[in-house]
Amino acid sequence: MTSLTTEAGAAGAEAPAAPARALAAQTRGLRKVFGRTVAVDSVDLDVPAGAVVGVLGPNGSGKTTVIRMLLGLCRPTAGSVSLLGASMPDGAGSVLPHVGALVEGPGFHPFLSGRENLLRCAAFEPLLPSSRIVSTVDDALDRVGLADAARRAYRGYSLGMKQRLGLAAALLVPRRLVVLDEPTNGLDPAGTREVRRIVGELHAAGSTVLVSSHLLAEVEATCTHVAVLQAGVVVAQGELAGLLAGDQPVLEVATPSVDLALATLRAAGVPARACRGGVEAELLGTPPAAVVEALVLAGVPVSEARRRRAGLEELFAALTEEGGA
């Protein structure tokens, strides 16, 4: 576990981006205890500015608790939170105007219409001049596809529509950081694509995005960075590409002459073992091309060679199942 995190960190450092990128949010030694339950423990989370960070974890792993502490909604039992350079929760007043958030599902008043709810949110939004409230609200409703249902009471909204309204509230004004807790909950496939598009647009515009999700494909498709939480502890974090590549540097070679292949690789000093339909060579410092060349020169018929790239799903399963055991 530890080795993976280190490896991922190393891979992240090699990335072409600036070596010491500014952090939009950072937690150190974060801990939250509710009664006798330790919800979150020693969480050191880094959210690089401009990144799209996916927070992954099974239900009850502490994702939402970390996000709530990050936003100053609740006070950590121990540890520190820095958000856009301000210490939270005390700096909430100065940084939260630049932060849009959808936490623990959308929260609105059932007796008001979607538009009235959003007008109420807008009235409390520091960066919104009073003269622009109405046009901003109508634009926001348009953007999330709720213009037609804007004047219907919120209590009649479907789960997906409620989620869209929550998104609209989080994106009322341009934000430097957007925090979305399970944004695709209850959305249909079109809505999910829409969220992905919105996250992409925010990323392109230079905003930092923090998304928590249990939908791995979602995170894999939209995120540049990932943090995996398990039972309140961060078990891995870093750039998505680094984490995935750092997982299993293995070359799968399909060949009928398994014995010859194994002998050749052993002679070449490459650890290898037989597998179904061929051999697996561990690429510890050996470039894949060199492995294939050695095999071919030794007369091993190579029908296919493929670097095994673990999907986020396998990585996630490996991390969380091991951690839980």
Partner 1 sequence: MTTMAGATAAPLHRMLRSELRWAFRRPRTIVALALLSALPVAIGVGVVLAGGPQGEHGESLIAQVAGNGLVLPIAALSAAIFLLLPLVVSMSAADALAGESVHGTLRGLLLAPVGRIRLVVVKSFGVLAVTTAAVLLIAAVGVVTGLVVVGDGGDGVLTLSGTSLPVLPALWRVALAALWTIVQLSAIGAVALAVSSVTEHPLVVLAVTVGGLIFTGVLTAIPAMDWLEPVLLPTGWSAIADVLRDPVPWDQLLSSSYRAGCYLLIGWSLTLARMVTRDA
**CB nearer partner 1, residue 79 or residue 105:** 105
**CB nearer partner 1, residue 67 or residue 234:** 67
Site for partner 1 in 44-63 (CB under 8 A): 49
Query: What residue type is 95 in one-letter code?
Result: V
Site for partner 1 in 239-268 (CB under 8 A): none
Q: Does 121 bind partner 1 (CB under 8 A)?
A: yes
- Residue 299 C-beta: closest distance to partner 1, Å: 60
Measure Cα distances from 189 to 74, 181, 185 in Å: 33, 18, 11
**CB nearer partner 1, residue 57 or residue 166:** 166
**CB nearer partner 1, residue 212 or residue 230:** 212
d(CA 58, CA 9): 22
- Residue 120 C-beta: closest distance to partner 1, Å: 5
| 282: β partners | 250
DSSP code for 22:
P
**CB nearer partner 1, residue 4 or residue 84:** 84
Measure Cα distances from 88 to 67, 83, 160, 233, 234 in Å: 12, 7, 31, 20, 20
**CB nearer partner 1, residue 84 or residue 228:** 84
Site for partner 1 in 6-25 (CB under 8 A): 22
Given 15, 17, 128, 262, the residue binding partner 1 (CB under 8 A): 128
Measure Cα distances from 26 to 23, 69, 162 in Å: 7, 11, 30
Using CB under 8 A as the binding criterion, the count of chain residues that bind partner 1 stands at 41
Listed residue (286, 309, 291) closest to 255, CA to CA: 291
Cis peptide before 89 (omega within 30 of 0): yes
b/e sequence 271-289, b meaning 16+ C-beta within 10 Å: ebeeeeebbbbbbeebebe
Binding string, residues 70-109; x marks residues near partner 1 by CB under 8 A: -xxxxx--------xx------xxxxxxxx-x-xxxxxxx
Name the site residues for partner 1 (rule: CB under 8 A): 22, 49, 68, 71-75, 84-85, 92-99, 101, 103-112, 116, 119-121, 123-128, 130, 169
